[in-house]
């Protein structure tokens, strides 16, 4: 039996930037009574707290929950209260370099001419995130903006040319995440194995972007068993099956 079940967040456990619904929150709480659970995604800690932690029912065993913001560049665990175990911060000069390259690529791709809801670029301390139509765009607009990922694949390739020493991955429905080279979900899972003591063979990872260039794909490279899901509804079906099997 797997000891630790790891999940992507947006598009896997919840819709983009939306809180867990009651069904998923309840299923995760049940899963926590049988196994350790990790959530690893591109958002920062405040977003995780709002989307995940604050939505779990009071009986959930938080001591078994691992939170890895910004694609694993940070890790939080609960030991009476939430503590940050590590952080791979980007320096001010590095941020300036990334933001300059990102702005030039956005303009070259013509993506700055489209309407946006809120800022397109967010500094998350350990990650710079580009959201194609803004951080506060409604879900229907996000889903319609780049469904085949062509816009982001083009931008990703441009950024890989101008930022060769950085990890650049497609995530969510409209975003691209930029972190230090080598810091991606593979890095996060390696750190998780180190801190939790759970071997890769005893983990499983579920995500909706398990494809080359997707920000869930690095999980494949460390040898963790992976399950590609289409959407939140498919994740719910898997969670129901998992909890029923573990409770048998």
Q: Give the model's pLDDT for residue 212.
A: 85
Q: What per-residue confidence (pLDDT) applies to 71?
A: 86
Q: Is the pLDDT assigned to residue 248 strictly greater than 80?
A: no
CA dihedral 124, 132, 6, 222 (to 10 degrees): -90
The 10 Å CB-count burial string (b at 16+, else e) for 62-94 is bebbbbbbbbbbbbbbbeeeeeebeebebeeee
φ and ψ at residue 147, rounded to 5 degrees: -65, -30
In three-state secondary structure terms, 199 is: coil
Q: Residue range 56-85: average pLDDT? A: 95
CA distance 132 to 194: 35
pLDDT score, position 247? 65
List all residues 6 or more positions away from 208 whose beta carbon is below 8 Å from its beta carbon: 8, 11, 12, 216, 228, 229, 230, 231
Segment 9-21 shows an average pLDDT of 93
What torsion do the CA atoms of 239, 23, 207, 54 make, to the nearest 10 degrees? -120
Q: Do residues 113 and 85 touch, judged by C-beta distance below 8 A?
A: no
d(C-alpha 226, C-alpha 197), whole Å: 19
Beta-bridge partner residues of 207: 228
Mean pLDDT of 156-171: 93
Whether 121 and 129 have beta carbons less than 8 Å apart is answered as yes
> What percent of the chain has pLDDT above 90?
83
pLDDT in tens, 101-122: 999 999 999 998 888 999 999 9
Residue 169 has pLDDT above 90, yes or no: no
Q: Give me the domains of the chain, ranges plus CATH numbers.
A: 4-88+183-246 (3.40.50.1000), 92-180 (3.30.1240.20)
Q: pTM of the prediction?
A: 0.83
């Amino acid at each position: 039996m797997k000891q630790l079940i790891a999940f992507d967040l947006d598009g896997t456990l919840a819709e983009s930037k939306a809180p867990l619904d009651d069904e998923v929150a309840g299923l995760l709480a049940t899963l926590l009574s049988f196994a350790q659970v990790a959530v690893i995604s591109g958002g920062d800690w405040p977003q995780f707290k709002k989307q995940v932690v604050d939505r779990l029912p009071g009986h959930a065993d938080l001591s078994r929950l691992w939170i890895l913001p910004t694609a694993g560049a940070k890790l939080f665990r609960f030991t009476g209260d939430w503590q940050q175990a590590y952080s791979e911060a980007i320096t001010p000069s590095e941020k300036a370099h990334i933001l300059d390259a990102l702005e030039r690529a956005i303009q070259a791709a013509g993506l700055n001419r489209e309407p946006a809801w809120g800022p397109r670029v967010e500094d998350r301390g350990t990650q710079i995130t580009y959201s194609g139509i803004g951080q506060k765009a409604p879900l229907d607009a996000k889903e319609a903006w780049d469904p085949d990922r062509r816009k982001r694949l083009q931008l990703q390739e441009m950024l890989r040319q101008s930022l060769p020493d950085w990890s650049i991955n497609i995530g969510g429905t409209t975003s691209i995440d930029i972190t230090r080279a080598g810091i991606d979900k593979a890095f996060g899972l390696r750190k998780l194995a180190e801190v939790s003591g759970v071997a890769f063979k005893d983990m499983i990872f579920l995500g909706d972007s398990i494809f080359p260039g997707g920000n869930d794909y690095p999980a494949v490279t460390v040898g963790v068993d992976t399950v590609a899901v289409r959407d939140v509804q498919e994740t719910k079906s898997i969670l129901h099956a998992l909890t029923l099997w573990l409770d048998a």
